[in-house]
């Protein structure tokens, strides 16, 4: 794998982490609007973040070998 491909992979992972963080914040806000206490809302937001990140990492694990 060339250096350019590794940098593109790192950039993709960074962008997907940012998208996951935004999804986690949305999950937190939905839980807060639903009347959950802060500690429960943080737990739900982190669950959304890690679920999205797991999905994106799995997607990268499938797509990277197919491209290279």
pLDDT tens digits in sequence order for the chain, 68 residues long: 788 888 988 999 999 999 999 999 999 999 999 999 999 999 999 999 999 999 999 998 998 888 77
Please give the pLDDT value at position 41: 96
Residues in the chain: 68
pTM: 0.85
Largest alpha-carbon pair distance within the chain? 50
Task: Work out whether the CA dihedral 54, 58, 63, 68 comes out positive or negative.
Answer: positive
Please give the pLDDT value at position 43: 96
Give the integer Cα–Cα distance in Å for 40 and 6.
38
Please give the pLDDT value at position 13: 92
Please give the pLDDT value at position 65: 84
């Amino acid at each position: 794998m060339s250096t350019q491909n590794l940098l593109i992979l790192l950039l993709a992972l960074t962008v997907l982490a940012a998208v996951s963080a935004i999804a986690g914040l949305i999950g937190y806000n939905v839980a807060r609007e639903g009347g959950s206490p802060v500690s429960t809302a943080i737990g739900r937001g982190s669950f959304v973040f890690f679920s999205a990140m797991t999905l994106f990492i799995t997607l990268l694990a499938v797509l990277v070998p197919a491209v290279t």
